[in-house]
Amino acid sequence: MNTPLIDPFHRAVNYLRVSVTDRCDFRCVYCMSENMTFLPKKELLTLEELDRMCSTFVRLGVEKLRITGGEPLVRREIMTFFRSMKRHLDNGHLKELTLTTNGSQLERFAGELFDCGVRRVNISLDTIDEEKFAKITRWGRISQVLRGIDAAQEAGLRVKINAVALKGFNEDELFSLAEWCSSRDMDMTWIEVMPMGDLGNEDRLDQYWSLSDLRTRLASRYTLADLDERSGGPARYVRIEETGQKIGFITPMTHNFCESCNRVRLTCTGQLFMCLGQEDMVDLRAPLRDNRKGQGQLEAAIRAAIKLKPKGHDFDYSRQAVDGQMSRHMSHTGG
Ligand code: SAM
Ligand code: SF4
pLDDT 10s digits, 50-79 = 999 999 999 999 999 999 999 999 999 999
Which is the closest atom of ligand 1 to the Cα of 194? 24
pLDDT of residue 199: 64
* 329 alpha carbon, closest ligand: 1
**331 CA to centre of ligand 1 in angstroms:** 7
Is residue 331 in contact with ligand 2, taking CB distance under 6 Å? yes
* pTM beyond 0.85, yes or no: yes
pLDDT at residue 328, rounded to an integer: 55
Find the mean pLDDT for residues 101-110.
98
Q: Whose CA is nearest to atom 19 of ligand 1?
A: 31
For residue 266, the surrounding DSSP H or E stretch is strand 263-266
- DSSP state, residue 320: S
Whether the pLDDT of residue 286 is over 70: the answer is yes
Label each residue of 181-243 as H, E or C: HHHCCCEEEEEECCCECCCCCCCHHHHECCHHHHHHHHHHHCCEEEECCCCCCCEEEEEECCC
The pLDDT tens digits of the residues spanning 229-272 come to: 766 567 889 999 998 999 999 987 665 567 778 889 999 999 99
**334: CA distance to ligand 2 center in Å?**
9
Q: What is the pLDDT of residue 324?
A: 45
Q: Which residues pair with 160 in a beta bridge?
A: 122, 187
Q: What is the pLDDT of residues 196-231, one digit of tens each?
A: 555 655 555 578 899 999 999 999 999 999 998 766
Among the listed residues 43, 112, 58, the one whose alpha carbon sits nearest the alpha carbon of residue 89: 58
pLDDT of residue 239: 96
47 has a pLDDT exceeding 70: yes
Nearest ligand to the C-alpha atom of residue 25: 2
Rg over CA atoms, the chain: 19
Count of helices and strands (H, E) across the chain: 11, 12
CB 181, CB 122: distance < 8 Å: no
| pLDDT at residue 203 in the model | 52
**10 Å Cβ neighbour count for 317?**
19
Q: What span, in angstroms and rounded, lies between the C-alpha atoms of 149 and 153?
A: 6
254/256 Cα distance (integer angstroms): 6
Q: Which of 177, 253, 330 to mutate to test the pocket of ligand 1 (most atoms within 8 A of CB)?
A: 330
Q: Determine the pLDDT at residue 97.
A: 98
Asked if 29 and 64 count as a contact pair (C-beta separation under 8 A), the reply is: no
Report the share of the chain in percent with pLDDT over 90.
73
Q: Give the 3-state secondary structure of residue 142.
A: helix
Taking the centre of ligand 2 as the mean of its atom positions, its distance from the CA of residue 22, in whole angstroms, is 9
- Give the pLDDT band of residue 320 (cuts 50, 70, 90): very low
pLDDT, averaged across the chain? 89
**Residue 73 CA: which ligand is closest?**
1
Burial class (CB in 10 A: 0-12, 13-18, 19+), 94: buried
What is the largest distance, in Å, between two alpha-carbon atoms of the chain? 62
What's the pLDDT at 154?
A: 98
280 C-beta neighbours (distance < 10 Å), count: 12
**What crossing angle do the helices spanning 106-115 and 78-90 adopt, rounded to 10°?**
30
Residue at 318: amino acid letter = S
Rounded Cα distance between 112 and 99, Å, is: 13
- Say if ligand 2 is within 6 A of residue 102 CB: yes
> Distance (Å, rounded) from C-alpha 206 to C-alpha 192?
13
Q: What is the DSSP string of 53-76?
A: HHHHHHHTT--EEEEESS-GGGST
- Asked if residue 235 has its Cβ within 6 Å of ligand 2, the reply is no
Asked whether 330 lines ligand 1 (CB < 6 A), one says yes
Q: Which of 11-20, 101-110, 179-188, 272-281 has the lowest mean pLDDT?
A: 272-281
What's the rounded mean pLDDT across residues 4-14?
89
pLDDT at site 276: 73
pLDDT score recorded for residue 321: 37
Ligand 1 pocket member 189 (CB < 6 A): no
Question: Is residue 133 within 6 Å of ligand 2 at its C-beta?
Answer: no
Yes or no: is domain 15-333 CATH 3.20.20.70?
yes
Q: Give the span between the Cα atoms of 268 and 281, in whole angstroms.
A: 13
**What does the pLDDT read at residue 194?**
81
Report the nearest atom of ligand 2 relative to the CA of 164: 5
pLDDT at 297 over 90: yes
pLDDT at 170 (0 to 100): 97
Task: Determine whether the shortest distance from the Cβ of 27 to ligand 2 is under 6 A.
Answer: yes
What sign results for the dihedral spanned by CA atoms 242, 244, 249, 255? positive
> Average of pLDDT values for 35-42?
94
Count of CB atoms situated within 10 Å of the CB of 248: 21
Residue pLDDT, tens place only, 135-191: 999 999 999 999 999 999 999 999 999 999 999 999 999 999 999 999 999 999 999
pLDDT of 299-311, one tens digit each? 999 999 999 888 7
